[in-house]
Structure 1
Amino acid sequence: MSKQPSDRDTRSALFNQSIEKSFAILRLFGAQHSQLSLSEICRLSGMSMGSVQRITHTLEQLGYLVKDTATRKYRIGIEIMTLACQYLEADLLVDCANPYLSDLSNHCLETVSLTEPSGLDMVYVARFTSRRYIPIHMPIGSRVPMYCTASGRAFLSAMDETKIRRYLDASERIAYTPATLTDVDELLALIQKCKRQGVAWNNAEYYLGDLNIAAPVLNAAGEPVAAVHITTPSSRWTLEAALEQLSPPLIECAHAITKAARTRN
């Protein structure tokens, strides 16, 4: 679970730990753990067998988990998609952005996405995929760290230096590839450079062969609320060429989404 950068980690007396445990179990499932037994859930979650049995039974009854009758292992249920869909349907920004994202993708013939912040990560909420080859598939709902991705750096670039440093200090800053920047001062200098240019970028810092450039989307108060980014393989574009040719339509798209969202509000 990704947290907001904070000086203190405090919880209200109203905080419900049973609900927290339920979501903790749901978060265990993914590409690495598509199916889990009760004992595996206990081991990964650190919860007792009694708690795991009660929670998994409830989640199964609600449709958020499904149990394989042969293996007796659990997997994520299709009902979870309803919750995600409800978020997207209620998200005004996604609704405003979709036409502009589509236009940008058609214009540059590359994959275009919209991401929104969640703690120290950016989450994909809209994506228009190019017919042309891209090295990595990122489904809606995928999370990427802010510090080493174009979308995250674009989001951070619209903040003041103090806030940027707080986010960077709170990030784990893993070196995912040999190109990943992890030093806070170097990252801060890069993000300030991105701010001056109006676009942010990363070149094979999260996935090898993956090149992205991004621009922030702002609310009426001038605060960042999302980022638009273009994804392309480094075999098709150099960073210099992408910044020169793709930055103008990207910035135009981000500004159009910003204006449309403010009008709708």
Structure 2
Amino acid sequence: MSGVIGKAIDILDALVPQGMEKELSVTEISKLLDMPVQSAHRILNTLTQYGFVTQNSRTKKYKLGLSLMKYGFLMWDSLMFRSVARPYIEELSQKTRETVYLASRENNEGVYIDSIDSPQILKISEPIGLRLPLYIGASNRVILAYLPLKLQDQLLRGVDWAKVPSLKPLTLEYVKADLQRIRAQGYSVTNGEATEGTTGIAAPIFSYERTVVGSINVAGPELRFQADTIEKYSYYVKKYAGLISAELGYSGSSERA
């Protein structure tokens, strides 16, 4: 299987435009890659089926398809999101002296895509790439809270709450009530769900399409997050989440159906 995948990648590389649109026939691809015509044809058929390449109905030659463009745009959006957010999370970290995370949504999970560690000796430090279900932790649950209701229900339906990877017991009733609280106040606060002894405060980030795309989260040892601190940091996370959203082209209120 790995050999077939490698050949498919070779074909895609061969079709990458060099300054202008590029089309190749099966025979041309076979000669260029020293690959049997039958193998090239079979792989091209599969790539065409999934939209990674497309065939010109007139010339019968192949070129890259729209599926690659779609994934390219998704990667570009992710890189732009991180680039836009970086100076804001740096400033937020300086103001709070706590660890700040930037998270994005991938299907039913939240993923840390950037972070600034606290300069303090006692601090929270989770790895980039850490992913958890959207109902666990402040950075994830605040994203869930601003998804459309139908999608929320879909993501929560069928969860076995006795087996969720949270350090604190969670129930459907608790999570749904918390989602309402988050919507009412504009931010999320959780304690010890993803990391023991930790408090997280997160606010949502929206795109130009007025949909939630991620969150920023200030996190630190629970002992440093008293009521007045939580009030101050919740103001900061909402402020900087709003600035990032504005940079991404967001204006107005979030859509929720």
TM-score, length-scaled by structure 1? 0.61
Amino acid at match of 1:246: Y
Q: Is the 8 A contact 1:101 1:112 kept in 2?
A: yes
- How far is the alpha carbon of 1:99 from its aligned partner? 0.4
Q: Is the 8 A contact 1:165 1:184 kept in 2?
A: no
- How far is the alpha carbon of 1:249 from its aligned partner? 1.1
> Quick one: distance in 2 between partners of 1:184 and 1:97?
32
- How far is the alpha carbon of 1:88 from its aligned partner? 8.3
Amino acid at match of 1:180: P
- 1:225-259 per-residue CA deviation (whole Å, 9 max, x = no partner) reads 01110011102113x33431101111010000011
Q: Which residue of 2 aligns with 1:217?
A: 205
Q: Which residue of 1 aligns with 2:88?
A: 100
Amino acid at match of 1:150: A
Q: Which residue of 1 aligns with 2:130?
A: 142
The answer to whether structure 1 residue 207 and structure 2 residue 195 are counterparts is: yes
Q: Between Structure 1 and Structure 2, how many residues are aligned?
A: 179
For the residue of structure 2 that corresponds to 1:180, the secondary structure is coil
Q: Is the 8 A contact 1:164 1:188 kept in 2?
A: no
The answer to whether structure 1 residue 234 and structure 2 residue 227 are counterparts is: no
Amino acid at match of 1:179: K
For the residue of structure 2 that corresponds to 1:235, the secondary structure is helix
Q: Does the C-alpha gap of structure 1 residues 185 and 126 become closer, same or farther in structure 2, counting only changes over 3 Å?
A: same
Q: Which residue of 1 aligns with 2:101?
A: 113
Amino acid at match of 2:228: A
The answer to whether structure 1 residue 249 and structure 2 residue 236 are counterparts is: yes
Q: Report the aligned-residue RMSD.
A: 2.5
Long gaps (5+) in structure 1: 1-15, 20-86
Q: Does the C-alpha gap of structure 1 residues 118 and 177 become closer, same or farther in structure 2, counting only changes over 3 Å?
A: closer
From 177, 180, 190, give the equivalent of 1:192.
180
What are the equivalent positions in structure 2 for 1:120-199 lying under 5 Å apart? 120-134=108-122, 136-169=124-157, 171-173=159-161, 174-176=163-165, 179-181=168-170, 183-199=171-187
Q: Which residue of 1 aligns with 2:39?
A: none
For the residue of structure 1 that corresponds to 2:157, the secondary structure is helix
246-255 vs 134-143, which deviates more? Answer: 134-143
> Quick one: distance in 1 between partners of 2:172 and 2:199?
21
User: Which structure has the greater CA radius of gyration?
Assistant: 2
Q: Which residue of 1 aligns with 2:30?
A: none
Q: Does the C-alpha gap of structure 1 residues 102 and 231 become closer, same or farther in structure 2, counting only changes over 3 Å?
A: same
> Quick one: distance in 1 between partners of 2:146 and 2:122?
28
251-260 vs 172-181, which deviates more? Answer: 172-181
TM-score, length-scaled by structure 2? 0.63
Long gaps (5+) in structure 2: 6-74, 251-257
For the residue of structure 2 that corresponds to 1:116, the secondary structure is strand
- How far is the alpha carbon of 1:148 from its aligned partner? 1.6
